[in-house]
A and B are shown apart, each in its own frame.
Chain A
Amino acid sequence: MSNEILMEIKSVDRTYVDANNHTVDALKDINLSIRRGEFLSIIGPSGCGKTTLLRLLAGLDVPESGVITLEGEEIKGPHPDRGYVFQQGSLFPWLTVEMNIATGLKARGVYKKHKNEIAQYINMIGLGGFEEVYPHQISGGMAQRVAIARSLINHPVALLLDEPMGALDAFTRADLQDKILELWKKNETTMILVTHDVEEALYLSDRVVIMSPRPGKISEIINISLPRPRQKNSQDFMVMRSSILEKLHLASTIPQVEYNI
């Protein structure tokens, strides 16, 4: 991890209009610098705008005000240099595992030139032998690995992970966490993970960004200096976890409006 700034979020606001025509501040005055090669987690209660922030980084959404830059250039739309992994169900059901991974190449029109790389990525995610299988025939954990490989084959500088393990059972989740760490080390990709699981954030990240809702804003950024590989049952890990949980709890507490009837 270097100290070089890869992405910069400067005073970003994002609002949307809800079903009752009320304007809701999804994000309010967000400032964040993301370093090249780091593993950053964004954590917070639901409604704090963490997914919105990730979508802004991907270019799938645009901020109302403020600016987001990648290597000094403003992000204007999606680009393969920022891979995005959705929570679930994002594989194309009509394509085999192999062809889903090939989509990354095909969408950029470089399939013919780089198709020999596909096998390497299939092996990297440990799905050798599953090339010809369709998405509905594999488990949720395997599907997420395919989704990750599909993004990585484009050699992104950053991989944006939107609760990729949210819909998985505990065992598959732990397995995929290790896989993601392994891929991070191997590919030296900057990882930005949105999660609501404190343990997951702590296990994986260099830094944890805690967000609070209504309006969505960053309440704290914590450096995790625990040595890797981390033990989830070690004393330090436990202490760190409860301190983050406490901060998260504070962040979630919304000042109550007093009612006088």
Chain B
Amino acid sequence: MNNISGFKHSKLHRFLPVQPAPVCTDGRKYFLLTLVSVAGFFAAVLVNLLFPQAVSVEIKSYAVSNSVSLTADQAYRLVLAGLIFLYGVIGVYSFFRGDLRERYLSRVPFRLAMGLALALWDILGTKLLLLPQPFFPGPSKIIESFLMEGDYIFQNTLYSLRLFTVGFVSGVVFGVGTGILIGWFPKVYYWVYPVLKITGVIPAVAWMPFALTLLPNPFSAAAFLIVICAWFPVAFLTAQGIASTPKVHFEVARTLGAKTPYLVFHVAIPHAMPQIFTGISTANGFAFTTLVMSEMMGQPGGLGYYINASKVWSAYYKVFAAIIVMAVLFSSIMKGIGFIQNRVLRWQRGLVK
């Protein structure tokens, strides 16, 4: 009976489309390619150690702990060593996992290029000072800002993270709530949807003058702006998702004995989930922009504030340091949201490309 349509076995993973990746079975070749993947960073270390410093620069040593102090160059080489170690470990892990081998090997050229680019940047930015200074400092100079005031950068990062979390989470909750009401009640749709459509396209930072005057402190003003900018796409797409639920799903649930709350929370909302997540991803991008812009225009802390404060002193290496922190922080947040999305929407696997 079970094999009528070709399904014989009960193992779920057999149904999922798995692309058979050609597995690299040659251990020696894999080992060599792992070396190539970290060779760029090795080259960067060697350049930093051996390339003559054409223009003399002041070399400061910073106390990291009571007994250890580091110069910027040493810290830079330490970071490179860390990258070599990291990619080496990932290489070994991928080798033993087997299924990850191809993925690791596919990234070898990029990692090599990354290391070589660092080496080149070091030569142009630090060793020969060919790049226009102080706008384009070398990599070690940027790392120096972490040595100088790592604590302060960390504090500002936490400030940004707190502001982002408060604003974004309330914006998403508020957006999903409005979206459900708009999608479910025709009256709410009639009265609220046009307002949403008109106000939603206005960039949130345009409200900044009002936010700063009407709200008690700068933090709540910025949080308010992030709430607005996250609210619009989430509400819009949630409403669409709710409203597009097929009638047959509601009818089935009703014949099974479901009442309205069940129809909303167990039929309409699960159906809207893919669109809700599309809204959240869009909102995420808007929220980063709004966060940094509002920090640059009137916050007592945060990475945007740090950029502005450093710019005043022409400390562009600190600007770069803040940008690097943002890159890491924001992509981690996006990755986290992507992870949750994959978990929640795992039923779509194999259904949607």
A interface residues with partner B (beta carbon < 8 Å): 58-60, 77-80, 82-84, 86, 89-90, 92-96, 103-104, 106-108, 126-130, 132-134, 136-139, 141-142, 147, 150-151, 154, 171-172, 175
Contacts and interface: CB of A to CB of B under 8 A. Distances in A.
Contacts of A130: 2, 7, 10
Given A80-B257, A134-B347, A137-B350, 18 more contacts: A79-B255, A84-B252, A90-B249, A92-B270, A94-B271, A104-B256, A106-B266, A107-B258, A107-B266, A126-B2, A128-B10, A129-B2, A130-B10, A134-B351, A139-B5, A141-B4, A151-B255, A151-B256
28 contacts: A60-B255, A80-B257, A84-B252, A89-B246, A92-B270, A94-B271, A94-B273, A94-B347, A106-B262, A107-B256, A107-B262, A127-B2, A129-B9, A130-B7, A130-B10, A133-B12, A133-B15, A134-B347, A137-B12, A137-B16, A138-B5, A138-B7, A139-B5, A139-B6, A139-B7, A141-B5, A147-B252, A154-B256
Given A133-B12, A134-B347, A154-B257, A175 B248 contact: no
Interface string B193-218: 00000000000000000000000000
A107 B347 CA distance: 21
Contact of B257 (A79, A89, A92): A79
Nearest to B15: A137
Interface string B238-267: 000000001011011111111000100011
Contacts of B262: 106-107
Contacts of B16: 137
Contacts of B328: none
B256 to A, nearest CB: 4
Interface in B6-27: 6-7, 9-10, 12, 15-16
B50 interface: no
Contact of B270 (A94, A127, A129): A94
B1 interface: yes
Contacts of B246: 89
Contacts of A107: 253, 256-258, 262, 266
How many chain B residues sit at the interface, stated as a range, is 20 to 34
A104 B246 CA distance: 18
A8 B262 CA distance: 30
A37 to B, nearest CB: 20
A132 B12 contact: yes
Query: For B246, B251, B273, which residue has the most chain A Cβ atoms within 10 angstroms?
Result: B251
A9 B270 CA distance: 37
Q: Is the interface of A mostly helix, strand, loop or mixed?
A: loop
A103 to B, nearest CB: 6
Contacts of A83: 255-256
Contact of A92 (B12, B251, B254, B267): B267
Contacts of B7: 130, 138-139, 142
Contacts of B251: 60, 78, 84, 86
Contact of B347 (A60, A95, A126, A175): A95
B254 A171 contact: no
In the complex, which of the residues B246, B271, B347 has the most CB atoms of chain A within 10 Å of its own CB atom?
Answer: B347
A138 B15 CA distance: 9
Contacts of A104: 256-257
A86 B347 contact: no
Contacts of A150: 252, 256
Given A86-B252, A129-B10, A136 B351 contact: yes
A86 B246 CA distance: 13
Nearest to B253: A107
Contact of B255 (A82, A129, A139): A82
Please indicate which of the listed interface residues B253, B257, B273 has the most CB atoms of chain A within 10 Å of its own CB.
B257
Given A107-B262, A138-B7, A141-B5, A86 B248 contact: yes
Contacts of B4: 139, 141, 171-172, 175
Nearest to B266: A106
Contacts of B249: 90, 92
B252 A126 contact: no
Contacts of B6: 139
Interface in B320-353: 347, 350-351
A137 B251 CA distance: 23
A93 B254 CA distance: 17
B11 to A, nearest CB: 8
B255 A84 contact: yes
Contacts of B266: 103, 106-107
A83 B255 CA distance: 6
A162 to B, nearest CB: 10
A127 B3 CA distance: 11
Contacts of A103: 253, 256, 266
B326 to A, nearest CB: 35
Given A79-B257, A130-B10, A136 B350 contact: yes
A117 B6 CA distance: 28
